[in-house]
Structure 1
Amino acid sequence: MKTRTLAIIAVSIGTFIYGVNYTIAKDVMPFYVKPFAFILLRVFGATVVFWFLGLFIKSQKIDKDDYKKIAFASFFGIALNMLSFFKGLSLTTPISASVVMVISPIMVLIFTAFLLKEKIIKRQIAGIFIGLIGAILLIVYGNSSEENASNRALGNFLVFVNATSYGLYMVLVKNIIHKYNPFVFIKWLYLFGLFFVLPFSISEFNDIQWATMPTNIYLKVGFVVVFTTCITYLFNLYGLSKLKPTTVSVFIYLQPVIATTYALISGSDSLNLIKILATSIIFFGVYLVTKQVKKSTK
């Protein structure tokens, strides 16, 4: 099987896990585990897993200058990304959160243009503004009286921060991951991330009532730690090592489809006109941003 095909399969699996994660994580937060405490569980669990697996991987020395780059990528890809996402998800609904996340490919294009010096054409600029209009529409007017969303506007805004942070992370790691084994890279990524999230999370972590937590909630926490954290980050890193950041970001389009289907089946969310309209606007903006330019032939 071709390397590109394997990379696409890996990113597709990661996208599916992210899609169902919206509802699974929402079932845990904020009643059983508060958002920041959940992030500490994720990052600590992943750090332990990857450093343990690193014992079976050939050791590889990290260049001194790359430690700073990995720490910088960890702040946006682990700390700010996860903290804003889980806090936002605890305040909004799974479908709204997954729709806002679709803005991430647009942010990837913007950061790619500034950091990797790739050219942006007028159609893509138009797509950026259209996509942002859709996101703002959902953030500002996506409010409802549903019990599942205590503060939808703030929640959607925090998910937007998450999408922006994750977009920057995808561009930042592109030039580093080629140099190192994925396990070597990701164990350092999570170790730095653990130090970043610890000050924000330790207080909420101490509030967790482990004795009263049902078995199914334990299983859902385990799913988020093992699959949403370890598997997806590893698969996406492999995808980024073989594909362009903009290509990997395109798979985020599938997240609202998966998240909506799973949320509707499980009864944790519902559709309304604002969600449908905002989704259509965002997808049109993303289409303009990512549409391939046909090369003319002589």
Structure 2
Amino acid sequence: MNRRTLAIFAAIGATTIYGINHTVAKGVMPDYVKPFGFIILRVIGAAILFWLVSPLGPKERIEKRDYLRMLLCALLGMGFNMLAFFKGLALSTPINSAVLITLTPIIVLSLSAIFIKEKVTRTKVTGIFIGLIGALGLIIFGAENRLDAPNIPLGNILIVMNAVFYGSYLIVAKILIDKYHPFTFMKWLFTLGILICLPFGLGEFQEIRWTELPFEAIWKIAFVVIGTTFFTYLFNIFALTQLRASTLSAFVYVQPLIGILYAVAVGEDQLTTVKILGATLVMLGVYLSSKRPRPGPS
């Protein structure tokens, strides 16, 4: 099996974990762990794991000229991205989260067109517009009366912001990922992430009542720290060594399907007309925006 095929499997694995995570993480917040406290658990846990496995990779030092880009990656991929997503998920629903996260390919395409001058066709522009209409529909009309989702519109906005930050991270990180081993890159990224997130989440982290956590909360926390943080970032970093950022971001299409099926199967969310229509528009927009143009006649 060649490295590109392995990269595709890694991307599928990361997307599957992410799809399940929308419901698993929601099941812990805010009763056992508040959103920003959860982020501290994620970055500390993942940093420890990546430092433990780093001896398996080559000994590398980050060059001084890459410090600023590494810090920017940490801000986008560890700080702003996680803070927006977990706060948004705490305020919204698993299905809304799974659907809105599919805006990432549209955002990557838009940012690629702006910063690296990637060509954007009329079909892609149409897809971007349709996808944004679907997202706005979920934000404006997706309000429900749920005790575990106190402010769905604001939560949806934060989830969209998370997609913007993550899409930006994929573009910025590509250069460093091509240069450094994944273990080297991730151990320093999560170490910086601790410093970035600590001021926001230290108070909520200290509120966690460890001795009162039931087994259900413990395994869900472990899933988020080990699966959704360590393995997904590792899988995505490996995938980026073989795939373009825009190609990798396209695997997010699978998230709504997995996220919706899992959320409904375990009884943590339910489908509504607004969610179905919004999801349909978002998925159509993502499909059109990522569709490759047909080659012209030679």
State TM-score, norm by structure 2: 0.98
In structure 1, the partner of 2:176 is 176
- Provide structure 2 residue ranges, at least 5 long, that are not aligned to the other structure: none
Q: Is the 8 A contact 1:148 1:268 kept in 2?
A: no
In structure 2, the partner of 1:49 is 49
Distance 2:64 2:117 in 1: 25
In structure 1, the partner of 2:211 is 211
Q: What do you get for the CA RMSD once the two structures are aligned?
A: 1.0
Shift of 1:297: 4.2
Range 38-47 or range 147-156, more displaced: 147-156
- Provide structure 1 residue ranges, at least 5 long, that are not aligned to the other structure: none
Distance 1:186 1:91 in 2: 29
Shift of 1:119: 1.4
Q: Is the 8 A contact 1:7 1:239 kept in 2?
A: yes
In structure 1, the partner of 2:251 is 251
In structure 2, the partner of 1:222 is 222
State TM-score, norm by structure 1: 0.98
In structure 1, the partner of 2:237 is 237
Distance 1:62 1:240 in 2: 19
| One-letter code aligned to 2:6 | L
Distance 1:175 1:188 in 2: 15
Question: CA deviation digits over 1:125-173, x for unaligned, max 9?
Answer: 1211211111111011100112231111011111001011001001111
Alignment of 1:84-123 (within 5 A): 84-123=84-123
| One-letter code aligned to 1:203 | G
Distance 1:50 1:117 in 2: 34
Alignment of 1:50-199 (within 5 A): 50-199=50-199
Shift of 1:112: 1.1
Range 279-288 or range 47-56, more displaced: 47-56
Question: CA deviation digits over 1:209-257, x for unaligned, max 9?
Answer: 1111101211110111001000000000111110011111111111010
Q: Is the 8 A contact 1:22 1:98 kept in 2?
A: yes
Task: Determine what percentage of the aligned residue pairs are the same residue.
Answer: 45
| One-letter code aligned to 1:104 | T
* Structure 1 ranges of 4+ moved more than 4 A: none
Q: Is the 8 A contact 1:87 1:155 kept in 2?
A: yes
In the alignment, is residue 19 of structure 1 matched against residue 56 of structure 2? no
| One-letter code aligned to 1:32 | Y
In structure 1, the partner of 2:32 is 32
SS in 2 for 1:14: helix
Alignment of 1:274-285 (within 5 A): 274-285=274-285
SS in 2 for 1:103: helix
Aligned length: 298
Distance 2:117 2:186 in 1: 26
Question: CA deviation digits over 1:20-71, x for unaligned, max 9?
Answer: 0111101100110000000000000011111121234321121111111011
SS in 2 for 1:55: helix
